Structure 1
Amino acid sequence: MTAGGSGRTGIALTERQRLAWLRLIRSDNVGPATFRDLINNFGTAERALDALPELSRRGGAAKPVRIASREEAERELEFAARFGAALVGIGEPDYPPALRQIDAAPPLLAMKGHLKLAQRPSIGIVGSRNASISGVKMASLLARDCGVAGYSITSGLARGIDAAAHRASLETGTIAALAGGLDQPYPPENIDLLREIWDGKGIAVSEMPFGWEPRARDFPRRNRLIAGISLGVAVIEAAQRSGSLITARLAADFGRLVFAVPGSPLDPRCHGTNGLLKNGATVTTEPRDILEALSPLSKIDLFSPPQVEEPVYEESETWHEPPDEKERSMVVNALGPTPVEVDDIIRHTGLSASAVYLVLLELDIAGRLNRHAGGLVSVNMLD
């Protein structure tokens, strides 16, 4: 059955909003989750930018928070335009709809290529960089047949399985998620493949700034994009400790289906995939295993309202009076290096949810708050 689609929906950002969003997400200590909380508290990115210095001061920052300047944001937007890319907001029509649904999705995504492809349901295919001949053949088979069935194929542009999946779906549509800026692809030997992707029927995507060279810690963020864009992720030849298993774990956390191709118990490249099968991943030996499992999901409407938008609020609806010092101390004292649930902080302190969240936001902007999986938080204690 051919995968369906709901058509492009969403509201475009104004250029003023796009500039403010870019400044906000490029400022220190503002990640996707913090960005969402700031918009929820202040209504617009412009108001949030104005509030950052005071939030940082109240959170106990050792030095003033660095706020991305208007000139920096304008330069990045100009570079993106010259590069042939776009910075697409989470509520805009070209933003991948499945990615919109994950917790703390990137508010802005750099995209280059055939952007309408992002609206099709996608299947992630990942695996070993040091792939076997049979692994490469399997990745090509899955990518080609799933592409013909109407799905885009999302992967990470790595050697081996990733590259095979991209090449097999060049004609039907493939999405390359990058760990660095769009102008800093890795590995270098796949640059020509990347050009084929964005010059043809595919897209390259990244949440990192242009000019950003990928570091080891950036690849899990790339894996998060793969898992978030896809309805399901197929893993082929993954070692026991590998980025592919990180992608599979993230996919499971997002409620996506996880598929694994069984391999020889004697091949270290298959230890991770065989482990996924023991833990409940779908046994995958042919494309039909994926297509039949995803068929019901491809009919789900993914175009629900985004997590981050800028509706028109009255000032009184967006601004919460900051907690006083006593209330702030109650929240800070309830925190420590051990991750806890926010609801537990609210119950422990007896404060309103808005007061607790605002103190957490202050600590976050000051660089003292740590966010953990499952919405848990901890704090860096001051000396």
Structure 2
Amino acid sequence: MNDGAGPRLSDRQRLNWLRLIRTPNVGPASFRDLVNRFGSAETALQMLPELMLSGGASRVVRIPSVDEAEVELEAARKAGARFVAIGEPDYPAVLKTIPHPPPLLAIRGGGVFALPSVAIVGARNASLAGVRMARTLAAELGDEGYAVVSGLARGIDTAAHQGSLATGTIGVLAGGLDRPYPPENIGLCEEIADRGGAIVSEMPFGWQPRAQDFPRRNRLVAGLALGLVVVEAAKRSGSLISARLAGEMGRLVFAVPGSPLDPRAGGANGLLKDGAILVTEAADVLTALSPLKGNPGTSGNALEEPPDFSAVPPPRDDERDRIVEALGPVPTDVDAIIRHTGLHPAQVFMVLLELDLAGRIERHAGGRVSLLFPD
């Protein structure tokens, strides 16, 4: 799969990319490995049943049909949106630096991606002071040429988008592009798209967001920015998930201090204790981000080198067994599995791909994997 800025996909390629990424158990990592292994999404779709069975699946999952993919492409067109693939020129450059970036993004708008970006997130039940701080930061960062990224939630997210409407803001949805949440921000989504910003989602059109979809949205919020600012967050909150993900991606993490007596400040104050950059004004963010401006590739992890699946023969059954035996419920580094089994990296990656497609492993940060056991 080409991760550089290359030519656009043909209509047929885009259709097959959409079918492949919408197939159950195919995530960004397995999508990349499938396309690298078979050369195209079209061939990968043909091989999926065999790979799932090799990974131990009890049944082959249903692959979306051509008609279903065409319906989603038409839904995007009617919504004034488009699907952008990772190799295409208008795919957000900074997002390509995260581990396993989404192969396809549904985007409405998009000129704002040419700007360097900073994320602002925080409490849904924000105080008036927190809302004012988020709106002021967003406006001042926007005036300095930054796009502001957030998750379109109530409270701090909404204030951040409102503060940067005039200069460029990016809203990331946990559901489909046609299912903004919360409903009261439908009008804000329209304003963002109409005023030169962008609305982004990696979920299917028509998808109603569930609780488990918000961490995935938070990953995109962190991945679309050079740094992430937390304004008011409880000790257990989605904003802290965003901050952790940002740190794992090599992004800068900022926090606005708050009163120790306010539970909404507990998470942000904790981040400061752990080394986040203290923010009392926009200049604190601008000074830290200035060296990264104009060079998004330096702010995150380099793209992983895809395995060369053609380097060795396919793994034998006994080699598959050795890899499965090395796995367990504790997340394990893939390099450790390679060393332990003594197998070629391409063979290990191939077996992990089969297990992933069969729904038998879970992928974790840092390229680690764990074995899933049936309930």
TM range, smaller chain: over 0.9
Name the counterpart of 2:219: 224
Match of 2:47 in 1: 51
Aligned to 2:334: 342
Structure 2 residue corresponding to 1:255, chosen from 250, 258, 282: 250
Return closer, same or farther for 1:317/1:246 CA change in 2, 3 Å cut-off. Answer: closer
Determine helix, strand or coil for the equivalent of 2:332: coil
Of 91, 95, 98, 1:95 maps to 91
Q: Deviations over 1:147-184 (max 9, x none)?
A: 01001000011111111110111110000000000111
Matched residue count:
369
Aligned residue for 2:69? 73
Identity %: 61
Q: Which residue of 2 aligns with 1:3?
A: none
Unaligned runs of 5+ in 2: none
Q: Deviations over 1:126-160 (max 9, x none)?
A: 11111111111111111001001001000011111
Deviation for aligned residue 1:320: 5.7
Q: Is the 8 A contact 2:111 2:197 kept in 1?
A: no
Aligned equivalents of 1:48, 1:130: Cα separation in 2: 45
Give distance in 2, aligned partners of 1:198 and 1:369: 38
Aligned partner letter, 2:372: N
Cα deviations by residue, 1:246-285 (Å, 9 ceiling, x for unpaired): 1111111111111111110000000000001001111100
* Deviation digits for residues 322-377 of structure 1 (CA, Å, limit 9, x no counterpart): 21112111212222222211112111211111111111111111111111222111
TM-score of the superposition, structure 1-length normalised? 0.92
* Counterpart secondary structure, 1:111: strand
Corresponding residue SS for 1:358: helix
> How far is 1:199 from its partner?
1.4
Q: Secondary structure at the match of 1:184?
A: coil
Q: TM-score, normalised by structure 2?
A: 0.94
In the TM superposition, what is the alpha-carbon distance from 1:88 to its structure 2 partner?
0.5
What amino acid maps onto 1:44 in structure 2?
S
State whether residues 111 and 198 of structure 2, in contact with CA within 8 Å, keep that contact through their aligned partners in structure 1.
no
Across the aligned residues of Structure 1 and Structure 2, the Cα RMSD in angstroms comes to 2.1
CA distance in structure 2 between the partners assigned to 1:308 and 1:92 by the alignment: 18
| Bigger shift: residues 295-304 or 66-75 | 295-304
Aligned partner (choices 82, 86, 93) of residue 86 of structure 1: 82
1:204 to 1:267, Cα distance in 2 relative to 1, 3 A = same
Give the aligned partner of residue 230 of structure 2. Answer: 235
Once the 2 structures are TM-superposed, how far is the Cα of residue 301 of structure 1 from its aligned partner?
Answer: 5.2
DSSP-derived class of the 1:299 partner: coil
* Matched-pair contact (CA < 8 Å) for 2:8–2:89: yes
Relative distance call for 1:255 and 1:65 in structure 2 (3 A) is same
Partner Cα separation in structure 2 for residue 71 and residue 309 of structure 1: 34
Unaligned runs of 5+ in 1: 1-7, 311-315
Match of 1:5 in 2: none
**CA 1:49/1:144 → structure 2, altered by over 3 Å: closer, same or farther?**
same
Contact 1:41 1:320 in 2 (8 A): no
Q: Which residue of 1 aligns with 2:183?
A: 188
Q: For 1:11-68, what per-residue CA distance to the aligned partner results, in whole angstroms no more than 9, with x for missing partners? A: 2111111111101000010011111111222221112111101001111101112211
Partner of 2:284: 289
Picking from 33, 36, 56, the partner of 2:32 is 36
Q: Distance in 1 between matches of 2:119 and 2:127?
A: 19
Q: 1:361 aligns with which of 339, 353, 361?
A: 353
Change (3 A) 1:317 1:333: closer
Q: 1:302 Cα deviation (Å)?
A: 3.7
CA distance in 1, matches of 2:119, 2:208: 24
